[in-house]
Amino acid sequence: MANEPNKTVATDADVDAFLAAVEHPVRRRDALRLVELMSRVTGERPQLWGPSIVGFGSYHYSYASGRQGDAIAAGFSPRKASTTVYLADGVEAHADLLARLGPHTSSVSCVYIKDLDKVDLGVLEEAVRRSYAVVTAEGFGNAG
């Protein structure tokens, strides 16, 4: 297992073309808004990771098992049912903010939002900012 490659890696695919191809109009609109928000918060340019995750920056992780790789420091994916916003340090670290976000669901490191117009973008921005600061700090992702 330690030598298996990570399935979700940074690609050279065209982010603008990916976003333009998002069929659901609300997901497409929200994706364009998230690119602006996350670019501003992280200072990073968007990059496609795997076929459908727009990432901003990265961090290196290593596990005691020997498995290691790189993952997005902040990002999102416009899925069919909702847009997934990734908080790599876990949603529990942002429970105070997420309680004020507005309609969403969450699990582990994912926040699922059906419509950005119905959530508090200032709260979302602060969650992304805090998460990004944590995962890009020296030492994050080292478990052994």
Beta strands in the chain (DSSP E): 46-49, 53-62, 68-78, 83-86, 105-107, 110-113
Give per-residue pLDDT as tens, 84-103: 999 999 999 999 999 999 99
| Structural domain containing residue 32 | 15-135
In CATH, what number is assigned to the domain containing residue 26? 3.90.1150.200
d(CA 1, CA 99): 37
**pLDDT bucket at 8, cuts 50 / 70 / 90:** confident
Asked, for residue 101, whether it belongs to a domain, the answer is yes
Q: Which pLDDT value is given to residue 3? A: 58
Asked, for residue 28, whether it belongs to a domain, the answer is yes
Chain length of the chain: 144
Asked, for residue 108, whether it belongs to a domain, the answer is yes
Asked, for residue 32, whether it belongs to a domain, the answer is yes
Asked, for residue 41, whether it belongs to a domain, the answer is yes
Q: Which pLDDT value is given to residue 138? A: 77
Q: What is the number of domains present in the chain?
A: 1
Element (H, E) at 42: helix 25-42
Asked, for residue 88, whether it belongs to a domain, the answer is yes
Asked, for residue 100, whether it belongs to a domain, the answer is yes
**pLDDT bucket at 66, cuts 50 / 70 / 90:** confident
- Cβ atoms of 83 and 77 within 8 Å: the answer is yes
Asked, for residue 4, whether it belongs to a domain, the answer is no
d(CA 119, CA 122): 9
